[in-house]
Amino acid sequence: MKLKRVILAFLMLFGLAQADVPSNAAETKLTAELWGNEGNQAVQLDSLIKKINTIGYSVVQANRNIQVHWQNMFNEKTLEMISFYGLVNIEALRPLLLKNPDFGAYAPFNFFGYKTLDKEDNNTWYGHLTPNTMLDIIGEKDAETRKEFTDMVGSFDALVEKEMKPTKSKRFEHSKPLPKNGLTRMVKKFERTDDLETFVEEFVMDHDGRFSQHHFVIAGFIDFKFEYADMEMEFDKYDAYWVSMLCHFEFSNSIFNRGMPQAGMFAPCSVYFYVPKGTNELHVGYASVDNWINALDFKDQKRIDHMRAIDAEVVETFKEMGFEVVTLGKD
């Protein structure tokens, strides 16, 4: 597969050299490269996921065949299959989360696969955002840290190539820059008590209830503070740290089921929460939809307006819970 990529890159460069490309052509950056195999590969993808524990990965939650829910709810069907897998390498993530809590935006990161009903495309496509895209969205600049994250994701990609043996690939590039601030961050001050565990439990129940009223569903959940305590691994920088995977069926149907299934590389949205040690501040963050818009070159203004309206609804719901939008500095 790697050799094929090298050959493909050479051919692309050769083709560009032969074409009369203006010198001021916009520079493009790779958003994602999806792999492909002929036919419906749902069973093969599930088989792949069952083997990720061999490389230190686990699944926070697998959300399979979401097209069934869309058909039942909206009576629309353009996809034969679309499934999402929230993946984490818990041990490899620990030093990254300790360096930068914003890694929670991709802890888990989303691996997905889809097959359309288009008779001219009898392929299942699968993959995820490139590590560089995820790193650029969270604003991570440290070269060593970027390499750690890239190597972590790369170990999963190697397993994908080994098990799936993809026969084709397609690239998604963007010429628009990603948003300067790719994350929405908020902070809520709360009255600190000795029983922080109860505070977290009550907050999670309140959070899930409020978002369900706005037609969101929790597509996965992981408590890293609990996981590291259970593994007897130091994680004292935070008194609490958890991630909820947020999904909105009407929102996702309006994009993935209406001509842009590739946008599933951005979903579900991992919303991360943490309390810095010894503080009375609960922080929350997640990647904004402006990343989707720029990275996949959305052009339909009506669709863009709808996406931003749903994104604003998330902010308003958090404001109802006492959060304030802030710009946080980085070390």
Q: What is the mean pLDDT of residues 276-285?
A: 98
**Within a domain: residue 205?**
yes
**Within a domain: residue 124?**
yes
User: 269 vs 27, which has greater pLDDT?
Assistant: 269
**Within a domain: residue 274?**
yes
Q: Is the pLDDT of residue 78 over 60?
A: yes
**Neighbouring-strand partners of residue 220:** 245
Q: Is the pLDDT of residue 5 over 70?
A: no
State the pLDDT at residue 328.
Answer: 53
- Decide: residue 231, CB within 10 A, 0-12 exposed, 13-18 middle, 19+ buried: exposed
State the pLDDT at residue 1.
Answer: 44
Q: Is the pLDDT of residue 3 over 60?
A: no
Helix, coil or strand: residue 142: coil
**Within a domain: residue 137?**
yes
DSSP string, 256-302: HTTT-GGGGGG-SEEEEEEEETT-SEEEEEEE-THHHHHHTT---HH
DSSP state of 175: S
**Within a domain: residue 186?**
yes
Residue (of 96, 117, 35, 66) closest to 245 by Cα position: 66
What average pLDDT does the structure give for the chain? 92
Q: How many domains does the chain have?
A: 1
d(CA 232, CA 226): 10
- Structural domain of residue 263, as residue ranges? 2-10+31-325
**Neighbouring-strand partners of residue 58:** 88
Kind and range of the H or E element at 66?
helix 66-74
State the pLDDT at residue 27.
Answer: 77
Check which CATH number belongs to the domain holding 204 and give it.
3.30.310.70
Tell me the helix, strand and coil percentages in the chain, rounded to 5: 45, 25, 30
**What percent of the chain has a predicted confidence (pLDDT) above 90?**
89
DSSP state of 129: B
* CB 129, CB 266: distance < 8 Å: yes
Q: Is the pLDDT of residue 276 over 80?
A: yes
Residues 6+ apart with CB under 8 A from 208: 218, 244
**Within a domain: residue 109?**
yes
**Within a domain: residue 179?**
yes
**Within a domain: residue 250?**
yes
Q: What is the mean pLDDT of residues 148-170?
A: 98
Q: Is the pLDDT of residue 15 over 80?
A: no
* CB 33, CB 127: distance < 8 Å: yes
Q: Is the pLDDT of residue 187 over 70?
A: yes
| Confidence category of residue 331, pLDDT binned at 50, 70, 90 | very low
Kind and range of the H or E element at 281?
strand 281-287
- Half-sphere exposure in the Cβ direction for 73 (13 Å, CA): 14
Q: Is the pLDDT of residue 88 over 90?
A: yes
State the pLDDT at residue 327.
Answer: 72
